Amino acid sequence: MDQAVLECVKDAFDDDEELDEEARREWEEICAQKPLTAKSEVVTSTDRERARAWARWEAYCKKIHLKPGRPWVALVENQRIRNAPADQIFTRFLETIAKDSTVKRLTLGPEEFIEEPRIHSARTISGLWKTLRGVAKFMVFDPLVQQFPDRRYLYTITGKSGERTDTPTWKITKWISDTLPELGNLTREQTFVKKEMTAEDVILHLHTLWYRASDIPCSPSDRVAYHTAVLVLACGGFRSGTTLQMPYRDVEFVLVRDPQDRSQAKLVAYITINQNKQATNVIRKDQKHMLTFAVTIVPSRMLCLARLLFARALSDKAFKDEFESLEQLLSQAKFEHVEKIQLPWKASHQCRCIIPLAYHQFWTIWKRTVLVTGARDAHQRPYSLRVGAGGRLDKGQLDGTLTSAMRNYLLSHSTRVFEQSYQPRHFRDDVTRLCFGEQVGDHTALFQVIQNSSLERDPNAPLDATMEDYGAFEKRRDLTALRKLHSEVGQGPGGWDSDEARSIASKIQWVRAKLASLVVEQRRQEYFYEADRLRAQGLSTTALVQPQQCSDRSSSIRGGAAAEEIGKLFELSLQMENPEEKDWRSSVSLTEVLELYLDGRGRDVELLLAEARPARAVEESAVAKAPLAKDCRCLLCNMWFFSRYTLSRHNTNIHYRRGKSGNQFTSRFRCPECRSTAQNDVWIENVMHWSNHTESFHGTKCSPIPPAGARDENRAWLAKFAPGTENCPPGRGGMKLGKGMCYICLNEFSQAGGFYNHWAKHKAVIFQQPFPCPACLREKNQVVPIDGAETWYSHLVEGHEGGGPFGSLQDPECVPKKRSRAEQERSALAQKLQQQRSRPRARPPVLQRGRDVMSSECLGKKGIVGDMTLIDPRLHSEHSAQK
């Protein structure tokens, strides 16, 4: 460089110049920046895959005493290492992976476990080699390029598309394809049959999801989310990663004026799909990574995506302005001079999921639904939804109305990829008619049927293992050893709740489930073979059908019976229904039913649909019979439980959900049990009121223990009845803020425990003889005689709004926690050894309506009250006047 230029640069950048404060801070920021790197950002799953591949390579290099980077340098420099060509190190490594990667698998034979190869396809080794090359680029070659810039063309591993046929990496790639499959007994073909799900297959799949809900266990939220996800995937052929766990911000609801009847409103949902498998952290020059499409309400309820999304939003209370129902929203909309009304979300719901379903949950429900449908190929993949959608969107399938460009835009790939990877093995059309035309006849209807992947299904195929099978499993050596180990660990210092004990218990459950699936798979193969043989001979297959092993399944699945009732609203064909059936179905609001179902109120769903049916169509009571060994029932969803503790835990985790969406007790509702038995409607105000009501009128075994924190919510509810409020009952001065009132003597209490002690004293003396209702005397209503505790409680419900917040409520802080399994076993052993001196677990006294559980010492030494003036002296004159 010219000397004058050097001097100019030196004068411009004087390192000795003293920096001011602003310049010093700026230089500190410059030095604090991360160094630049050419490594591209990848998704987390790809990063984990790269880490696993490189860890295997490092382990192999350690085995042969080599540094992991040395073979790569020798490979590109065409050098030998210890008299061996570098490429042979990599081929030996890949051959070792293919041969030595084995896994122990359960078997039904006497050996119990067998070792099988983990890798079956050469494509797996090819993918491993591609991943290793990508890791080696930034782990080995990028640092070398920075150190030796003049050799950057040497230290480069080109990609697949630009790879030369004379490079060492290409030779290894060719060896994987030509030689390795024979050495490692690998296949070059894909290991699955590519199928497509037609529109008829999708409808049958969703029909099975609801009509056979007792055989497909999942929560109400997961069932509705799965239904929604399948519809979205079937409509556009999108990848599952773009649909599952979709946030509210990607869905927009609007009301549009009906162009055919401008006085009516139409609900429209805009759904935005963020396509995956796109480059990240790039400056975009297009918008092909995002796609928005619209759906509206359609006649077929099973295929109505707008109703499903709207019901979810109502259940989650996601709208900024709350709406009672879809019908109310459509009827009250007023457009004035606009054509569209937006329905915004709450700010807190923008990032929440409107399809709250993870992929592993989607995969579990998918496999079970395919099995229950009766498919012979129980391993059919969700990929068939995308293949089927691609066929429907292809030009010619929709009378040529969709071009290839629009199809590729929806599916987010190119024409070459579509032609290569999205054609099912079964060719759709009649090739003989394509060749010979009218001479072979018209078999269009037949070929439309045989295109369905569900054509070969048999819904009577075995689904579950029998109780005899599970008994045989327990005789296996592996399960016997696990049971023994679990017992030893549980009785050790850590107890049954230790991590080790839980891990062993999980392994036992996994072994039992895996063995059951193997038994079912074997029996299904035998069933299909024998059924085909008998039917071909014109014989019946009735003897092959196994009886249902779990007749009480719907009672142990949350919302199972309600889901089957909802399935009756999803019509398969309106033409198949008689007019009367069609009328009652159309009179029921699907969004209202789904909202109740999502809120966990399965019993209300059953009652609502039972009331809507014609008299002749009403079936037997939907109340499930108690399954064996279960005698506690949740009155909200009809599930049965072994104990009151498990019922209470279910009520807290599923129906209460404090501070989370889906809390059923945020708004008042009618007791479904009273509604089903044609009693007077009782409105439940909060979770403590629910526990109070169920224990008083439906028994302890149907009454959950109030969860911790219920007292605060009860106090907030009491604030509504403070003096001077519009909710203050007539004839009373109201209750002080945060207090409940005794309807006998007007004493006020701020805590349930205080009222409990007070009411126990009343209960011990006042029900010994009939007396008039003191509350009715004060309000100067018609006198109602009270002749017992049950009459009093019934009268409070009918005449005094349920008796206020208290009554026989339990104090949640006084309820003991469940004992550990070790404590239970020690207690049982002590009772067995000392039956005469056994002492049950100490419990605080619990007040139960209709029973006297308090001792005389707790109630106090008071005699029988024969005069109402002893209850409340102010009643003497009023009582005498009414007499």
pLDDT, tens digit (0-9, with 9 covering 90-100), for 577-618: 455 555 666 778 888 889 888 888 888 888 888 777 765 444
- Within a 13 Å sphere around the CA of 307, how many CA atoms are in the beta-carbon half? 18
Q: What is the pLDDT of residue 618?
A: 42
SS3 253: strand
| Residues in Cβ contact with 571 at an 8 Å cutoff, skipping those fewer than 6 apart | 300, 301, 302, 577, 585
SS3 282: coil
Say which residue, 553 or 637, is predicted with more confidence: 637
Q: What is the pLDDT of residue 429?
A: 83
Q: Is pLDDT above 50 for 815?
A: no
Q: What is the pLDDT of residue 354?
A: 95
- Per mean pLDDT, which of 14-28, 705-719, 849-863 is the most reliable? 14-28
pLDDT, tens digit (0-9, with 9 covering 90-100), for 381-390: 999 999 999 8
| Residues in Cβ contact with 739 at an 8 Å cutoff, skipping those fewer than 6 apart | 718, 748, 749, 750
- Is the Cβ–Cβ distance between 773 and 784 less than 8 Å? yes
Maximum distance among all alpha carbons in the chain? Answer: 125
Share of the chain above pLDDT 90, in %: 30
- 855 DSSP 8-state letter: -
The radius of gyration of the chain's CA atoms, rounded to the nearest angstrom, is: 36
Q: Is pLDDT above 70 for 231?
A: yes
Q: Is pLDDT above 50 for 712?
A: yes
Q: State the Cα angle at 322 between 316 and 323, rounded to 5°.
A: 100
CATH of the domain spanning 199-278+287-421? 1.10.443
Q: Quickly count helices (H) and strands (E) in the chain.
A: 38, 16
Q: Is pLDDT above 90 for 529?
A: yes
Of 806, 792, 788, the residue nearest 693 (C-alpha)? 806
Q: What confidence category does residue 572 fall into, taking pLDDT thresholds of 50, 70 and 90?
A: very low
pLDDT, tens digit (0-9, with 9 covering 90-100), for 440-466: 888 888 888 888 888 889 989 999 999
Q: What confidence category does residue 434 fall into, taking pLDDT thresholds of 50, 70 and 90?
A: confident
pLDDT, tens digit (0-9, with 9 covering 90-100), for 742-778: 777 767 776 656 676 677 777 767 777 787 887 787 7
Read out DSSP for 562-629?
Answer: HHHHHHTTS-S-GGGS-HHHHHHHHTS-HHHHHHHHHTT-HHHHHHHHHHHS-GGG--S--PPPPPTT
Q: Which two tokens stand for residue 559?
A: 């919302």
Q: Is pLDDT above 90 for 527?
A: yes
Strand order in the sheet with 290-296: 290-296, 265-274, 251-257, 340-343
User: What's phi and psi for 103, nearest 5 deg?
Assistant: -145, 145
Mean pLDDT of 65-89: 88
CA distances from 279 to 283, 286, 359 (A): 10, 12, 22
Q: Which of 29-33, 118-122, 177-181, 249-253 has the lowest mean pLDDT?
A: 29-33
| Residues in Cβ contact with 263 at an 8 Å cutoff, skipping those fewer than 6 apart | none
User: What's phi and psi for 41, nearest 5 deg?
Assistant: -75, 140
Read out DSSP for 451-496?
Answer: T-GGGG--TTS--S--HHHHHHHTTSHHHHHHHHHHHHHHTSSS-T
| Residues in Cβ contact with 87 at an 8 Å cutoff, skipping those fewer than 6 apart | 75, 168, 171, 172
Mean pLDDT of 731-738: 40
- Is the Cβ–Cβ distance between 215 and 463 less than 8 Å? yes
- Please tell me the distance from the alpha carbon of residue 714 to that of residue 690, in angstroms, as a whole number: 11
- Average pLDDT of every residue of the chain: 78
Burial of residue 404, with CB atoms counted within 10 A of its CB: 0-12 exposed, 13-18 middle, 19 or more buried: middle
Q: Which amino acid is at 58?
A: E
Q: What is the pLDDT of residue 868?
A: 38
Of 615, 529, 597, 523, the residue nearest 558 (C-alpha)? 597
Spell out the domain ranges in the chain: 3-32, 44-184, 199-278+287-421, 467-549, 551-667
Q: Is pLDDT above 70 for 863?
A: no
Query: Tokens 């609001």 correspond to what residue?
Result: 589
Mean pLDDT of 416-437: 86
Q: What is the pLDDT of residue 555?
A: 45
Say which residue, 867 or 701, is predicted with more confidence: 701
Burial of residue 254, with CB atoms counted within 10 A of its CB: 0-12 exposed, 13-18 middle, 19 or more buried: middle
Q: Which amino acid is at 642?
A: F
